[in-house]
Structure 1
């Protein structure tokens, strides 16, 4: 008995603890996207729109992730995150039909290798609203075939690496952006919708044939109060072809907060945030798609050109408050497996550098060096990750709003209890 105890002690002293398995690990992540951050933009729907528009900021070189990715990956690892989301730009790797740019594929190879060498899981988005200009867009059936060939190329390249795959980023928002920039005619909406659904369903099967243990999703935008309608467009059509429910939550609404209307005009920093809405969004998806794990693929806070918000709410406070509500959801039995902060750096927010979401701020228009400057949310996120969330007894900086409309009527009639237990996330 004594001998056995001695062996146990020796093992504990000299054998390092083993990391949690992928099934047990909570995915703490940061996110970025190709066109928004890479610079050196290839010929795409978005590069053509920006080049022809006089109402947007010049693209410049975004934040030059294309050449500074080793630094951004290092900064992410320094926060302790274990997941790094980025997109592989189809327009970059296939600049002409059937022509694959091996140099650009090698660039993405190095991105993936560095992410994994830093101990992080790559989360790869295959379409973050951008596609090669030569395709003509997803209203054309041939674009689906081209997208599937691209998907096969990338999945084959990064199979068996534990990648988390995202087919389409926020497909309903993708649709509205295509209409906004004139890349889609309104009469083509039904065909576009059917083609995107078909593309996701086929891509899901394709990725799983190539990478059998992969996890695949399409992250949905959470439209406060309207997801029961917007999920009919794509999510309900692919519910049997996702391994987890990925969604993005930013803004809420309530009887005492209707500022979300500012999002429609692009004044994102004027929206009063409702962190408690992340609980309502998790509960909504847990109820709508029972049995599916839940992953918050994007969550963050905008500021106006990096200035303090007029309401005094700070990025670090919003981060901690949001994680508090994720922990409440987990404690109430919701199977939350991951959380990504959007974004690791400021970037090109679809026509403007003014909204700033970055953990590291970058003055893309005024600083030629594109220096990454840490915000106070960097040490806050590092601390949260190290402790698996905020501690018991954490006091919310911003309490719940009155009668939340995030998921009406449930979010108003049965709001989450801010005094309930917290679950450790990992």
Structure 2
């Protein structure tokens, strides 16, 4: 996760809370009718070329981080900062072992970011040690049989860019594109799946509060990033022909039209695939998104079936583009079990079930990344834990990786090409989903045909 803390869902929570106050309780027959999804039928499998993966990001996991906008935010305890950065989970030095952990899962894709602040700590000077580190990281990913998915911008820029006015200054677009071309040229022809900017809507939101920015600066940043993505798309196709390019979008539940307006609506002609990050949904029976107001993201009840409706919605909008689920995961409170007993493995299997459902309905899904390989710095706090491998970053000086129950679950899913036949999601679909109110508010909750097959 960036992807990130989930304070970006404050707006969604406000609207959702207001809507919940006036929403009538679901009719008893509607809530009960066909509420339980049908079991996965025998023979329903993901295709052999499906791209299973894991995600992480540079700043959130590397540690030993140079001067940047985010190290400055942490130093002055900007909006939303609760914990010191310390050394994060020290991916910068433990990456050989973490790459092997990913390999042991059987994944085909390893996503991370190439950090501009690390490579070019001073304008015009590229650090040879940083380049050697990224060179070796990508070499190890490929040697382990995985494709690199490289994000060029995961919300972090060098301190000298901040000093020149960040995205207020038109020169930043030129500097960003110069650095992007250098990175693409260095790692071309290595099977890279490219992402230009990670979750632009969330990036704008965090910069708005942590930097902070006024509305004029906000619009300049939005315009600059949009311009940079469009130019980078063309550049990548010229420098690394055949490599797929996208910018992954954060799904924003009831506020999703605003999230899409950040960049997605302006660049649909400059995407080779749709990169979607899905964490939370909402329905009339589940308004727990309000916990984002207090930063207690682990109290938000997941809505796995929402991913099904999100995939179908974006497929209808751009049916020619395949979809890659770039991030999906569940936070726990400092690694403690959820009070409702819903485990990380349950969450993973349930979401895989609904992806299978969407693919059976004809949605073209090319890959899925779990966020994240290990716990990391969630943009101001170590308390939300998303990792397949959990790490006690604040208390364990060795930063030991401890496997969660989702590790064997993900390994089995990948080996078996999906959930086992007969699997039924642990979490029952809710009534009247925000993701597709027409289908879910006025009739039975849809269930797949029996048997259904991935097409």
TM, length-normalised to structure 2: 0.86
Give 1:407 deviation, angstroms: 3.6
Identify the structure with bigger relative contact order (alpha carbons < 8 Å, sequence gap 6+): 2
Match of 1:61 among 83, 87, 101: 87
Give 1:179 deviation, angstroms: 1.0
Aligned equivalents of 1:421, 1:295: Cα separation in 2: 25
Aligned equivalents of 1:77, 1:44: Cα separation in 2: 31
2:102 aligns with 76
- Does 2:348 align with 1:348? no
Q: Count residues in correspondence.
A: 403
The alignment partner of 1:30 has SS state of strand
The alignment partner of 2:301 has SS state of coil
Match of 1:399 among 428, 433, 436: 428
| Contact 2:250/2:278 (8 A) holds in 1 | yes
Give 1:419 deviation, angstroms: 6.0
2:196 aligns with 167
Gaps of 5+ in 2: 1-46
Aligned equivalents of 2:449, 2:82: Cα separation in 1: 45
Q: Structure 1 392/146 Cα, relative in aligned 2: closer, same or farther at 3 Å?
A: same
Aligned equivalents of 2:329, 2:129: Cα separation in 1: 33
Task: Extract structure 1 runs of 4+ deviating beyond 4 A.
Answer: 413-416, 418-425
Q: Superposed, which structure 2 residues align to 1:179-258 within 5 Å?
A: 179-258=208-287
Q: What is the RMSD of the two structures over their aligned residues, measured on CA atoms?
A: 1.6
Q: Superposed, which structure 2 residues align to 1:3-402 within 5 Å?
A: 25-53=49-77, 55-136=81-162, 137-402=166-431
Aligned equivalents of 2:267, 2:248: Cα separation in 1: 11
1:20 aligns with none
TM, length-normalised to structure 1: 0.92
Aligned equivalents of 1:108, 1:225: Cα separation in 2: 38
The alignment partner of 2:347 has SS state of helix
The alignment partner of 2:254 has SS state of coil
Deviations 1:255-307 (A, max 9, x none): 00000121233211010001111101101110122211001000001000000
Gaps of 5+ in 1: 1-22
The alignment partner of 2:382 has SS state of coil
Q: Structure 1 34/423 Cα, relative in aligned 2: closer, same or farther at 3 Å?
A: farther
Q: Structure 1 416/105 Cα, relative in aligned 2: closer, same or farther at 3 Å?
A: farther
Q: Structure 1 229/389 Cα, relative in aligned 2: closer, same or farther at 3 Å?
A: same
| Contact 1:304/1:356 (8 A) holds in 2 | yes
Give 1:226 deviation, angstroms: 2.6
